[in-house]
Structure 1
Amino acid sequence: MGEQPVPDVGGAAGGAGLSAARWLLQVPHEGPDRLARLAATALGAEGGRVTVVGDREVLLGSHGAGPGSLPCSGGQRSLCALVVARGEPVVVPDARPDRLEAGADGADGADGAVGAYLAVPLEARGEVAGCVWVCSARPRAWSAHDVELLRELSASISAELQAQVLAVELADAGERIRVAFDAAGFGSFEWDLATDEVRSDVQHRLMFGLPPAPAPVRFEHLYERVHPQDRAVVGRAVSSAVRSGLYAVDHRIVRPDGTVRWVAARGRVGGDDPRGRQRLVGAVHDTTDARDVNALVARELQSSMLTELPDLAGLQLAATYLPAARGHQIGGDWYDAFGLPDGSCALVIGDVSGHDTRAAATMGAVRNLLRGLAFDHREPPSVVLRRLDEAVEGLGMDTLVTLLMARLDPVSGTSQGPDGARVLRWSSAGHPPPVLVHPDGRAQVLATAADLLVGVDARSQRTDQQCALAPGATLLLYSDGLVERRGEDIADGTARLLALAQGLAPAPLERLLAGVVEGLVAPGAEDDTALLAVRLS
């Protein structure tokens, strides 16, 4: 990372965003160059930079020509400080005669090769912490779409940088927790599979709320302490251990005072008992505090990725997101809705593979890249998804995404339908199909072509489907966590969704979503779930 003093441009360049800038500087060194390349490639520019402005101006990532031909000294520092001070984009279509205001340096490189540049704020934690900018070797008339696209990319870059910092903080928190567990100790146990007796140490007995006296207890007595929703999981782990010799399960226990704790148990089944009996010998430790810390970080990261729904004329919008029961896992599910310049509404539901901070960061990048493509190109959903697939492959994002994108286009009241009607056009990349609830309460699954996931083959053909929606109709988009169950056909979950949607059709939109979630998402669900609903007024 390159550091330079922050020049005075008539405003506190490192003022309001100072704490956010310092926070972002924890980001690992690898990665920001790729983000700068993403910005330059998306804008068709020769160079790009990602810079944080705090106590000092730090170049996090760069792409394109070297310091001799791009404003990586002097003018570039002034440019970013000016963006931070103003909190708004700086657009220079012709850098040769122009100079930054407020006494800032010129933006020409040493050899005068920079003809134009465009810079937008980089925000983190609600503050302007730096800037993302691109430049062209020749003068260029930056369009309003260019500015909007770079804004969207800056949001994506910010999301990934924040995810990387949170991952560092999570690793640090995990290390502190591990040290605390080492100090507290683990509980050990020995279960005689023939007699069903369990002998354990004081730590194990206290963990399960048993008397500290070292008397053996029957396994069924311990099994009664397992949370009712986790007993099937423990039963499968025991059966697997008898077959494979390895015991590993995470589950909740309910102590006699009603306290619920998470424990992790690990062990081995062996027959080295002097009497030839099989024993399961292992250790257990309380993971509740670790899960609480991880869940807090996960929720903060996930919530920062989810969209505030827009207020669009003629449409009611509602959405919900439910994390998996394993709270330390960060899902890649997301929903999105935004207005387009031609009066249409874009709707998106998607799921990035993986359950970690990388998946969440990739989800943020894909989400914002898709937003920029949809806003800039104004093409059918199938074409936008094809462009997204090309970008994911070309930028080396190395991910798989199931995704459904839809457009709600207004319909002429005089020739094609009643006032307030819309035409729904959608394309799916391996995602569950939409559900339409008609104004009369009938619910149906909209037939959808099974196109490939994004990230498999950028040259694959993609198709659009369309249908007309009447005023009062409700459209449901959802991720697979809503309808998938282990050991069950997804068609069964979809049938339950249709029945619930039809029964709740007259309800307000928020109540409809709550009823669907209550009826379909079981406690202890293993996957996260995103759900987006839109109703025509």
Structure 2
Amino acid sequence: MSGHEAGEGISGGEVGGQREGGAFSGDLGRLGAEDLQRLQASLRQIQDLHGRMERLLEAVLAISSELELDAALRTIVEVSAGLVDAEYGALGVLNDEGHFSDLFTCGVSQEVYDTIGRLPTSHGLLGELVAHPGPLRVDDLPAHPSFREYPEGHPPMRTLLGTPILVRGTVYGNMYFADKRTGEPFTGDDERIIAALASTAGVAIENARLYERIRRSTEDFQRSLLPQLPDLGNLRACARYRPSTAVPKIGGDWYDAILLPDGVPCLMVGDVMGHDLRSATVMSQISNMLRVIAYEHCEPPSRVLQRLDEILHGLHGGPMATVLLARLEERAGLGWRLWWSRAGHPPPLLIPPDGPVRYLDGNGGHPLGVTYELPRPDHEQIVPSGSTLLFYTDGLVEDPERGIDEGLATLAGVASGLRHLPLDEMCDRLLAHRGGRFTDDVALLAVRLADPGTPHREGRSPDGAEAVEAR
């Protein structure tokens, strides 16, 4: 083959350098411009296919990683719409009667919902897919015999791609996508991709529903181990428990409050190390032992904790736990005397009626289970009437993305702005300040101090937590 002939191939230098490579290089040299264009188009198609497969795998991982049901449904529709380059996407959840009970969308503004309503009707093309679950691809919506006019305010749509989502063989809902951003109709490849994602969505939805059932059962079991708050005299008390929003596990967080024989309210918050059934069992044992020891001895908080540690070492080998134990004594004309001791537990937060909010730090002591021979310190603080005291476990202030100091500062700042709210509302807002998401369980016990001698009456706060309201 001449140099001129080689030059009509890819390039003279490239092909000429391959002449001794044998028949393959000779065949390559004889390719014309049209052959090369076809080859380059094929290579681009392979590259596009490879890229789309990567995006499909990423989409499957994104859909499968969500365990919260609503978050999973939003992720499904958003990821799927992005993969087929659709301007609009929706996932409609169906009830037992085949009507829409919920809808998750992307690309549709809130103004549209305000105009046309949130849930679609089971008519027209959407009704067609409900009545006959299966893939549906329409290149010209207005020309389809089942098409019905859009309601006023609905964005005009030209093309549609739909598929049902099956969960254990039952139609859970349908996914719809409208109008590719390129202006072209949806393709067979788009239909196959959405069908694959619908299968993944079915598994993800079933996992999310199972997760929700497990979480509710876990939370119910945990709550069954926690006490109802008694009448604490001139204290308005409120307690909350929230499980971790990570994969649900039984935890060891608890709160408790009792009225001692000398009439003094005793407040307790603790956290057993670990997240399993053993932790919950140990938590129940420790909390019950602690209330008995505190009731029997009426001693300084540090001595009560030391005695508890001795017993735990003797009976259970010293399980690790943090605890805060406090007595609140009325002082006529002087407010209240808070007398407390900590076993490695976060400090209480003092929220006065006015003025700066601050933590009552002092020496935190060592956790239970380390050694019962080391002395534990007691701390005292006169607290003005009308103040609120927060006792909590570290799940309320811990976050992997920030340090504990930042978490404590954030809690103090939020609590400062909520001090004039009713106590139960204050507790709910404190739990909501991080979006209700926690990487660890949270036990929260809040008390508001009335003037000594003020009459009081019982009430009940949300979540079934007993409350005593001072009047």
TM-score between both structures, scaled by the size of structure 1: 0.49
1:375-425 per-position Cα deviation (integer Å, ceiling 9, x unaligned): 0011011000000100110002552101111110122x2xxx43xx21001
Partner of 2:19 in structure 1?
A: none
Matched, 1:337 2:264: no
Partner of 2:283 in structure 1?
A: 363
What amino acid is the match of 2:363? A
Asked whether the 8 Å contact 1:226–1:252 carries over to 2, the reply is: no
Partner of 1:218 in structure 2?
A: 56
1:454 pairs with 365, 368, 387, which one? 368
Residue identity over aligned pairs, in percent, reads 38
Asked whether the 8 Å contact 1:436–1:443 carries over to 2, the reply is: yes
1:384 pairs with 292, 300, 304, which one? 304
Secondary structure at 1:431's aligned position in 2? coil
Matched, 1:423 2:337: yes
1:534 pairs with 434, 443, 447, which one? 447
Matched, 1:297 2:297: no
Partner of 2:419 in structure 1?
A: 505
The answer to which structure, 1 or 2, has the higher relative contact order (CA under 8 A, 6+ apart) is: 2
Partner of 1:117 in structure 2?
A: none
Q: Distance in 1 between matches of 2:405 and 2:376?
A: 24
Asked whether the 8 Å contact 1:481–1:527 carries over to 2, the reply is: yes
CA change 1:307–1:258 in 2 (3 A) is: farther
1:71-124 per-position Cα deviation (integer Å, ceiling 9, x unaligned): xxxxxxxxxxxxxxxxxxxxxxxxxxxxxxxxxxxxxxxxxxxxxxxxxxxxxx
What amino acid is the match of 1:493? G
Asked whether the 8 Å contact 1:229–1:524 carries over to 2, the reply is: no
Greater than 4 Å deviation, 4+ residue runs? 194-197, 219-230, 250-253, 258-261, 283-286
Larger Rg: 2
What amino acid is the match of 2:91? D
Q: Distance in 2 between matches of 1:229 and 1:495?
A: 30
Matches within 5 A, 1:85-234: 195-198=50-53, 218-219=56-57, 221-222=59-60, 225=63
TM-score between both structures, scaled by the size of structure 2: 0.55
Asked whether the 8 Å contact 1:352–1:402 carries over to 2, the reply is: yes
Q: Distance in 1 between matches of 2:413 and 2:428?
A: 14
Aligned alpha-carbon RMSD (Å): 3.2
CA change 1:336–1:465 in 2 (3 A) is: same
Quote how far apart the aligned CAs of 1:354 are.
1.2
Secondary structure at 2:305's aligned position in 1? helix
Structure 2 unaligned residues grouped into runs of 5+: 1-46, 78-89, 94-103, 105-164, 168-199, 451-471
Asked whether the 8 Å contact 1:227–1:253 carries over to 2, the reply is: no
Q: Distance in 2 between matches of 1:229 and 1:328?
A: 10
Matched, 1:492 2:406: yes
Partner of 1:70 in structure 2?
A: none
2:384 pairs with 466, 470, 473, which one? 470
Quote how far apart the aligned CAs of 1:312 are.
2.0
Secondary structure at 1:310's aligned position in 2? coil
1:223-265 per-position Cα deviation (integer Å, ceiling 9, x unaligned): 66478899xxxxxxxxxxxxxxxxxxx999545526699x9xx
Partner of 1:323 in structure 2?
A: 243
Partner of 2:11 in structure 1?
A: none
Q: Distance in 1 between matches of 2:280 and 2:73?
A: 25
Quote how far apart the aligned CAs of 1:196 are.
4.4
Q: Distance in 2 between matches of 1:483 and 1:251?
A: 29
2:353 pairs with 409, 423, 439, which one? 439
2:227 pairs with 291, 302, 307, which one? 307
Quote how far apart the aligned CAs of 1:450 are.
2.4
Q: Distance in 2 between matches of 1:361 and 1:401?
A: 13
CA change 1:258–1:528 in 2 (3 A) is: farther
What amino acid is the match of 2:236? Q
CA change 1:308–1:326 in 2 (3 A) is: same
1:495-520 per-position Cα deviation (integer Å, ceiling 9, x unaligned): 1111111111111111111121111x
Partner of 1:407 in structure 2?
A: 327
Asked whether the 8 Å contact 1:227–1:251 carries over to 2, the reply is: no
CA change 1:197–1:397 in 2 (3 A) is: farther
